[in-house]
Amino acid sequence: MFDTFSLERVTVGEVTLRVRHGGRGTPLLLLHGHPRTHTTWHRVAPLLAERHTVICPDLRGYGESTVLPSTSDHAPYAKRALAADMADLMRHLGHDRFAVAGHDRGSYVALRLALDHPRAVAALTVMDSVPIAEALARCDARFAEAWYHWFFFAQPETPERVINADPDAWYRSPANTPEAMGAANFEDFQRAVHDPATVFAMLEDYRAGLTVDRAHDEADRAAGHRVTCPTQVLWSTKDDLEYLYGDVLSIWRPWTTSLQGAPIPSGHHMAEEAPDDVARALLSFLADNWSTPV
């Protein structure tokens, strides 16, 4: 897994991040979602590494990165804080300007990076998401049924008790198996979800989503802030974004200045289920927007 990539721990501000990086060319930051770690990219990153320097970190609180205590407003797990970690990480690695692609919860960090650090982000790809404020503004019975976990995870203490009582039962899914994920990726996922501290941090990510992250999104929308770099949206055909929203790009258009996107024939964990299609979409988009000869 990640043959020829380097693995290290990098301290930025108040956190130490586990980071895997390799390849050559213009830098590309890949951000995982819940309940994954950076190893979710193990089938995609090598396909990108001949044309890009690929950086795959564990987000704050996920995998083997630092778990911080939280506060009543959940600000330590705000996407603004996680995005600042990523901006600091990339500067530490010598990349003042880079492309970023994020999946699921990582897509919210990627969006916040592009909004808060526009001079650093050259191109943005978001996968299987719409902005948090847009999802909550459109919340209806279908959303509440499909994404009930957003609201369950936001409750105090109870989600930790339920998940930690039997993590294997909570996360049981055809997508969460060694066969689907790859053995080493599955083992990394298992270590994470069996660590109560990591479970707490992952839940704080969701609690921040319904509070401080929503407020940050709404403030940007009210102020007319938009992503100024080229943006690509990818969504899984076997997931539920089209079911919930119809035209996914129409949700993203008011947030961007240059937008394109396409469906990926896959279930939700597209980097594991359809790595060739994901890599092809990223390489094509970046060839037009963030590639230089190596």
User: What residues act catalytically?
Assistant: 104, 268
Contacts of 79 (CB under 8 A, 6+ apart): 108, 109, 111, 112, 132, 208, 209, 213, 216
For residues 68-82, one letter each, b for 16 or more C-beta atoms within 10 angstroms of the residue's C-beta and e for the rest, the string is: bebeeebebbbbbbb
Q: How many of the other CB atoms lie within 10 Å of CB of 20?
A: 22
Residue 35 preceded by cis peptide, ω within 30:
yes
Beta bridge pairs of residue 23: 53
Picking from 216, 214, 218, 205, the residue whose alpha carbon sits closest to that of residue 74 is 205
Q: How many of the other CB atoms lie within 10 Å of CB of 242?
A: 13
d(CA 275, CA 260) in angstroms, rounded, equals 19
Q: Which two tokens stand for residue 237?
A: 């055909």
Angle at 255 between CA 250 and CA 260, to 5 degrees: 55
Contacts of 185 (CB under 8 A, 6+ apart): 1, 39, 40, 42, 272
Tell me the pairing of strands 231-236 and 259-264: parallel
Q: What is the Cα Rg of the chain in Å?
A: 17
d(CA 86, CA 63) in angstroms, rounded, equals 15
